Amino acid sequence: MASSPHLKVLIAGAGLGGLTLALLLEQAGIEYTILEKHEGDLIPLGSSISLNQSIQPLFEQLGMLKELESISQPISSMTFLKENMNKIGSLDLSSDAVRYGYHNRIMDRPSLYKLLLSRIPQDRIITGKRVSDIEQSDQGVLVRCADTSFYEADILVGADGAYSCVRRCLYRDLRNQNLLPKSDMAPLAFDHHCLVGITDPIDPIYFPDLSRSTCDMMVVIGKDKPYSWWLIPLKKNRLAWRVTYNLPTTQIRQEHHIRSSDWGPLQVEEMANACRDFVCPYGGTLAEVIDKTPKDRISKVLLEEKFFETWYHNRTVLMGD
């Protein structure tokens, strides 16, 4: 691998983290290419996401803060309730902008993804490129893809998710050199199942909180059941929701035991049916919320619980979402 006269960066993964890094490199005039495993057009997925005060100066420096504000709402409060709707407590976040300079803001992930993607030149993203192996040397890094193509750069950034192939290859090489901490060899553990969705626009007459210019989150803690559920008002009179199931200790699963069938359509429907009768803070039950959510905007995810000590080595670095 010949060294390049100019710094070149490869980013594995066109998720939120990969796109944000690409924007920074674009601003700095550093050459980069994003390798994305999915074929064709990039389709934004997910439910809601909040951006706290520490990340918003980045958007301001990129000249994107106004656009971010246009797709989001400030979070003014979080209220925690028992299942009988008795109040456990609340957090008043309405003065965050005075205290920290910015509000904590909430939005749907697809809108944030589209905003980031709109600022990336199309020729910087190559789809259908699933990373299969990496090789590092003093001169650079070589990335091999599943379709037998390969790419070279000075730095590789693994932004390819919880099941990162970049991380797997990096850790393999470190393990062979006896440089990988034992804790990093353990597989990911999953102790929560999470069902998430975003409704179609709803008439605020049924959910008055949707008419407000701020987001007042509601969190219900189940009684005698391992569930909690969140209701999160969004822009355009939509409601993001989340139901979390806490796995018993005996059912906590590890990475190599997770199957794709664990979050297929049947499993989504099964979990949705299990929580339809849960009480809704706005009245009625979650059934009304679920029924106002298109099926293609409901998904089941497994929440990973793992702290990695090793985030970089040689010319490769790992990043999260």
Q: What CATH number should be reported for the domain holding residue 158?
A: 3.50.50.60
Task: Assess whether 279 and 311 both reside in one domain.
Answer: no
**Within-domain flag for 86:** no
Q: How open is the CA angle 122-126-132, to the nearest 5 degrees?
A: 160
**Is the same domain home to 213 and 144?**
no
CA atoms lying within 13 Å on the CB side of residue 246: 10
Domain co-membership, 278 together with 130 = no
Same domain, 130 and 210: no
pLDDT at residue 305, as a whole number: 72
Give yes or no: residues 139 and 266 share one domain. no
pLDDT at 190: 75
223 and 175 within one domain: no
The answer to whether residue 155 sits within a structural domain is yes
Q: Mind listing the pLDDT tens digit of every residue in the chain (321 residues)? A: 444 468 999 999 999 999 999 999 999 999 999 999 999 888 877 899 999 999 999 999 999 999 999 999 999 999 999 999 999 999 999 999 999 999 999 999 999 999 999 999 999 999 999 999 999 999 999 999 999 999 999 999 999 988 899 999 999 999 999 999 999 998 877 778 899 999 999 999 888 889 999 999 999 999 999 999 999 999 999 999 999 998 876 555 555 455 444 557 788 899 999 999 999 999 899 999 999 999 999 998 877 777 899 999 999 999 976
pLDDT at 2: 46
Phi, psi (deg, nearest 5) at residue 211: -85, -5
Strand partners, 279: 285
Answer whether residue 117 is part of any domain: yes
Based on the fold, state whether residues 145 and 208 are members of the same structural domain: no
- Number of structural domains found in the chain: 2
pTM of the model: 0.90
Q: Do 61 and 22 share a structural domain?
A: yes
Residues 153 and 241 in one domain: no
3-state secondary structure of 287: helix
pLDDT at 251: 58
Distances (CA, A) of 179 to 163, 170, 230, 318: 21, 11, 42, 16
The neighbouring-strand residues paired with 312 are 317
Dist CA 195 CA 242 (whole Å): 6
Bridge partners of 142, per DSSP, are 135, 152
Give the domain range for residue 43.
Answer: 8-76+103-183+307-318
| Within a domain: 118 | yes
Which pLDDT belongs to residue 279?
Answer: 96
Has residue 243 been placed in a domain? yes
The residue ranges of DSSP E strands in the chain, in sequence order, are: 8-12, 31-35, 48-51, 73-82, 87-92, 105-108, 125-126, 131-136, 141-145, 150-153, 155-158, 189-198, 215-221, 227-234, 238-246, 253-254, 298-305, 312-313, 316-318
Identify whether residues 268 and 311 lie together within a single domain.
no
Tokens of 24: 């920074």
Does residue 84 form part of some domain?
no
Task: Please report whether residue 87 resides in a domain.
Answer: no
Does 195 lie in the same domain as 169?
Answer: no
Per-position DSSP letters for 97-159, written without gaps between them: HHHHSS--EEEEHHHHHHHHHHTS-GGGEE-S--EEEEEE-SS-EEEEETTS-EEEESEEEE-
288/313 same-domain check: no
Asked if residue 97 belongs to a domain, the reply is no
